[in-house]
Structure 1
Amino acid sequence: MNRNGHIEVTDLHLRTSAGAPPGAEVLSLGALHTRALKHGRGLAAPVRPSFHHLIAVRSGPLSCSVDFADHTLEEGAWLWVRPGQILQFRSGLATAEGSVVLFQPGLLDAATARAARVDRPAPRTVPLHPGDDAPRRTLDLLEDEFGRLGELPLEAHMEVVRHLLSVLLLRLAHGRGGPGEDGGDNEAFQRFREAVERDFAHSHRVEDYARRLGYSVRTLTRATRDAAGCGAKHFVDERVLLEARRLLVHSGLATSVVGERLGFPEATAFTRFFRTRTGETPAAFRARYRNAES
């Protein structure tokens, strides 16, 4: 927390180790802990990575927070943190055993990324518990490949990495225990979700999205309920609420300015929206979260 009282979040960009292929890296949790210390980041400092973190825990616990949701990962758990989400390790990074795969958006070919749902807006992040050991075995192969740097020309090595990463992500995306709120082949929901991710700070009305996308409000509501388990309006509001929480905690902006950035015409409208959905005012949420972190 800085002297102005807000909890600083670091925008994190992928810097692979010397000699490693560009765009991807596999580290042990212990090595990730060492890297954080080397770059002068506190182990509990929140970061906003511009790349994917795929965390696999062999023995835990590993406690972390993703966009204000706390998770405790035990043996066999996976967690997929998408670019732009706020990640904060709470405890266990130095003691838990496991691996983390770091990779840039755009690393995989478009067809694979689409099939593995890699570049879609982040769903609600929950730990994954695959129903078999196929992802674990694929990760073992990926780790082994990273241990063989220099045995192949870099371009060939990178292709092996891409293929193994593709298999791993496809297994996780489509296996038992895969991520929820994805929508699968629900085209209406996918288009709606992408539009919300792009325009949530400007439009909060389902009618606006329906008109631009060429669907009825009923169609979007039904598609969203089928894919995400909630109505379309609730889906929009949750995305606005997430961004409000991020800005309230990790910026020094006045609450009125946060409301303006999120498309509310006046501060009272933002306060009313936030209190209706959380039971507390923006100022109270900010104070409570900062007191908990201090």
Structure 2
Amino acid sequence: MKSGQLPGVKQLHYTPAPGAQFDVEMLSFAQLRLMDRSRRRTRPQRPDFHVMALVQSGVGRHTADFIDHPLRERTVVWIRPGVVHRWTDVEDLEGPLLLFAQGFPPAPGPVAQAAADVFGPACWQLDKDAWELALRAADHLRHEHTAAVSNPRLASVPLLAHLLSALVLRVLPIGPDGPPPPTDTPHEHEAEHAVFRRYRAAVEERFAEHHHVRDYAAALGYDPRTLTRATRAATGLGAKQFLDQRILLEAKRLLAHTDLPAARCAERLGFHDAANFTTFFQRQAGLSPSRWRTRHDGR
């Protein structure tokens, strides 16, 4: 079994539609239903690309990494690569649906940071004012994408990427401390974020092999305290907590979507024995792997 694959979960790869060879594609819920008459969308799937949707009307449900989300007007859905999700019920929904490849948003910047956030929210609501602007941004992107497909002479990948970025910035949830920080932050702050981005990328690549911050610090050329400081500034978590949460998330996916015994899950995640894995999981999740699996069996 290849790393990242889960038996029983459909692995989806980004493939542009014929005649639309771009790393972004505009669809709708109506088109999704038309293309998927067998309702494969209701079964667990794991895309290697981003899926974003804006619910304009109707009510439905969506499940992402064991959490069930109600969908209604002004809901934004963002499924990042690697998330196991399913469109539980979208029969009554209308609104734009877009797919874009990992790495398509311009980097560096707040959009690329949000796109790489493995713990980012999957669903949230926008207020009425932000919603109207989000729909305009989506409509602008749709018109440019349609023009690029129908008339290649007008196609501009940088323009599509920037319009996608504008849409993402418009729909990003605003936290209790206000909107995302501006890009012209002080040099020290940006340098700290650069450290975290390198650490996050390394964790995403090697979390099943390295379970200690010191291993990442050595590989990246930083002191472990530097990684902890940068990670806490970016996420509110220490570097070890961030790493443990990433391992835990993948452990939950394995338990929910495979029949692998705990010993095999431990092996897949780089634990030397099942006892260590069980202790880790119990400490992080508050339940043993077997009890958690019973409650969250996603098959």
TM range (shorter): 0.7 to 0.9
Q: What is the correspondence of 1:96-111 to structure 2 with a 5 Å cutoff?
A: 96-108=93-105
Aligned to 2:160: 161
Normalising to structure 1: TM-score of the pair?
0.81
Deviations 1:254-284 (A, max 9, x none): 2201101111111111111111222222122
TM alignment of 1:139-158, pairs within 5 A: 139-148=138-147, 151-153=150-152, 156=155
Q: Which residue, out of 199, 207, 213, partners 2:206?
A: 199
After superposition, where does 1:245-260 map in structure 2 within 5 Å?
245-260=252-267
Change (3 A) 1:259 1:155: farther
SS of corresponding position for 2:40: coil
Question: How far 1:157 sits from its partner (Å)?
Answer: 6.0
The runs of 5 or more residues in structure 2 that have no matched partner are: 1-5, 182-188
C-alpha distance in 2, partners of 1:288/1:197?
27
- 1:114 and 2:108 matched: yes
Q: Which residue of 1 aligns with 2:228?
A: 221
Shift of 1:214: 3.2
In structure 2, the residue matched to 1:281 is 288
Q: Which residue of 2 aligns with 1:46?
A: 44
Are residues 179 and 67 of structure 1, via their aligned partners in 2, closer, same or farther at CA, if it must alter by over 3 Å?
Answer: farther
Deviation at 1:154, TM superposition (A): 5.7
Query: Does the C-alpha gap of structure 1 residues 271 and 154 become closer, same or farther in structure 2, counting only changes over 3 Å?
Result: farther
Structure 1 alignment gaps of length 5 or more:
1-5
Q: Is the 8 A contact 1:21 1:158 kept in 2?
A: no
* Paired amino acid for 2:107: A
Q: How many angstroms does 1:9 deviate by? A: 0.7
| Change beyond 3 A, Cα 1:154–1:36 | farther
Alignment partner, residue 3 of structure 1:
none
Scaled by the length of structure 2, the TM-score of the pair is 0.80
Q: Taking structure 1 as reference, are residues 157 and 168 closer, same or farther at Cα in structure 2, changes over 3 Å only?
A: same
CA RMSD in angstroms comes to 2.9
Aligned CA distance change for structure 1 residues 7 and 214 (closer, same or farther; 3 Å): closer
Shift of 1:176: 4.0
> Structure 2 CA distance, aligned partners of 1:212 and 1:159?
33
Distance 1:179 1:100 in 2: 24
TM-superposed deviation, 1:55: 1.2
Q: Distance in 2 between matches of 1:151 and 1:64?
A: 33
SS in 2 for 1:58: coil
Which residue identity does 1:99 align to in structure 2? P
Distance change (3 Å), C-alpha of 1:97 and 1:215: same
Identity across aligned pairs (percent)? 38
- One-letter code of the match for 2:32? L
CA spacing shift, 1:214–1:106, aligned 2, 3 Å: closer
Q: Which residue of 2 aligns with 1:88?
A: 86
Q: How does 1:179-194 map to 2 (within 5 A)?
A: 185=190, 186-194=193-201
Please give the alpha-carbon distance, in whole angstroms, between the structure 2 residues aligned to 1:188 and 1:162: 25
